């Protein structure tokens, strides 16, 4: 998985399993299934999806049964049809049943993000615009959700508050104006590009004159976006943001903006339908 080097997969798996198993473990399986029973299973998608998180799902099974046999039949970023088998698993029955829900929850959610993201990316194909994600993520899952967005074809915007300067309307209000906010950000010498949010055409020239490296055009309709693009005339990259939907993103992209940020791809993505189908091993 192309996750940041400092993301600890083993720690994530341990925390998720601890949340689900508690202190007593899977009392139902322990009471009804023999300790040496073995299962085989196939993990199948029940709708067309874009896969994300398959290796992470496999890690849950390995954590509870180090001897489990796993075969991956798909890969992250792949668009697969309804009925496609994603994974084949064989191992201890109790371990597989305990790992099933955390594995499926993770894979269904991340593949949901990737699948919705791909719909937005496909909607603007050929325009030259790029879909960006945002910081509108579930607490504690940002790294994984942004990974899933990449698997869906988006690019990541800033991961955290410390890896990008983005001046928004509240910063502008406190600083006393767009130009002053940009001036202060440039004077701070962070080594980072300074992006500033503008929601009016008359804010653009002051932002550029103060040295903004990039503009976020917030909640502008296509006519305003075209006016902004003409005024900027290629001096800095332009990102459109605010209320972007599948119905509107193509109109936004066709104005000529460079980027379109979409909070919905992480904030509102529905889980996809993936199931684990079991058979008893003899």
Evaluate whether residue 173 is within a structural domain.
Answer: yes
Question: What ranges in 233-272 are assigned the alpha helix state H?
Answer: 249-253, 264-267
Residue 279 confidence (pLDDT): 84
Shared domain for 192 and 256, answered yes or no, is yes
Q: Is the pLDDT of residue 92 over 70?
A: yes
205 is an active site residue: no
Shared domain for 276 and 213, answered yes or no, is no
Give pTM, 2 decimals. 0.95
Report the distance separating Cα 151 and Cα 132, nearest Å.
12
Shared domain for 75 and 105, answered yes or no, is yes
Percent of the chain at pLDDT > 70 equals: 99
Shared domain for 105 and 174, answered yes or no, is no
The DSSP result for 39-66, as a single string, is EEEEEEESS-EE---HHHHHHHHHHH-T
Over residues 224-247, the mean pLDDT reads: 97
Domain of 69?
Answer: 9-114+270-280
Q: What CATH number did the domain enclosing 214 receive?
A: 3.20.20.70
Catalytic residue among 119, 168, 186, 226: 168
Tokens of 133: 């994600």
Catalytic residue among 133, 218, 239, 258: 218
Question: What ranges in 92-177 are assigned the alpha helix state H?
Answer: 93-123, 142-151, 169-175
The answer to whether residues 191 and 165 touch, using CB atoms and an 8 Å cutoff, is no
Other CB atoms within a 10 A radius of the CB of residue 282 amount to: 5
**Cα three-residue angle 109-128-152, rounded to 5 degrees:** 15
Tokens of 185: 């950000």
Catalytic residue among 197, 213, 239, 258: 197
Report the distance separating Cα 278 and Cα 42, nearest Å.
7
Shared domain for 178 and 200, answered yes or no, is yes
168 is an active site residue: yes
Tokens of 66: 């180090």
Number of domains into which the chain is organized: 2
Report the distance separating Cα 11 and Cα 34, nearest Å.
29
Catalytic residue among 38, 119, 136, 142: 136
Q: Is the pLDDT of residue 190 over 80?
A: yes
118 is an active site residue: no
Cα–Cα separations (whole angstroms), residue 240 to 14, 63, 151, 243, 244: 39, 43, 22, 10, 9
218 is an active site residue: yes
pLDDT class for 282, splitting at 50, 70, 90?
Answer: low
Tokens of 249: 């993103």
Residue bearing tokens 């399993």? 17
Over residues 157-180, the mean pLDDT reads: 95
Shared domain for 167 and 257, answered yes or no, is yes
Evaluate whether residue 185 is within a structural domain.
Answer: yes
Catalytic residue among 62, 79, 88, 101: 101
Per-residue pLDDT reduced to its tens digit, 151-165:
999 999 999 999 999
Shared domain for 205 and 165, answered yes or no, is yes
């Amino acid at each position: 998985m192309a996750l940041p080097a400092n993301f600890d997969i083993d720690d994530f798996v341990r925390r998720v399993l601890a949340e689900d198993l508690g202190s007593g473990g899977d009392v139902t399986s322990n009471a009804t299934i023999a300790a040496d029973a073995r299962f085989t299973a196939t993990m199948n998608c029940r709708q067309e999806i874009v896969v994300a998180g398959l290796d992470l799902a496999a890690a849950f099974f390995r954590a509870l049964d180090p001897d489990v046999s796993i075969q991956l039949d798909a890969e992250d970023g792949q668009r697969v049809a309804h009925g496609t088998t994603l994974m084949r698993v064989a191992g201890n029955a109790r371990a597989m049943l305990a790992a099933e829900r955390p594995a499926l929850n993770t894979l269904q959610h991340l593949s949901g993000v990737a699948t919705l993201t791909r719909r937005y990316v496909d909607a603007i194909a050929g325009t030259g615009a790029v879909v960006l994600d945002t910081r509108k993520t579930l607490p504690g899952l940002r790294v994984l959700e942004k990974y899933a967005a990449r698997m869906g074809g988006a690019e990541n915007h800033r991961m955290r508050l410390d890896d990008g300067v983005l001046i928004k309307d509240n910063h502008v209000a406190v600083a006393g104006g767009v130009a002053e906010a940009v001036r202060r950000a440039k004077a701070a010498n962070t080594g980072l590009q300074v992006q500033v949010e503008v929601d009016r055409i008359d804010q653009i020239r002051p932002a550029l004159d103060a040295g903004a490296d990039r503009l976020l055009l917030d909640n502008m309709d296509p006519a305003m976006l075209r006016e902004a693009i003409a005024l900027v005339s290629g001096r800095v990259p332009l990102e459109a943001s605010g209320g972007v939907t599948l119905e509107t993103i193509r109109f936004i992209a066709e104005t000529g903006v460079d980027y379109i940020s979409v909070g919905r791809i992480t904030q509102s993505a529905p889980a996809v339908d993936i199931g684990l189908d079991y058979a008893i091993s003899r």
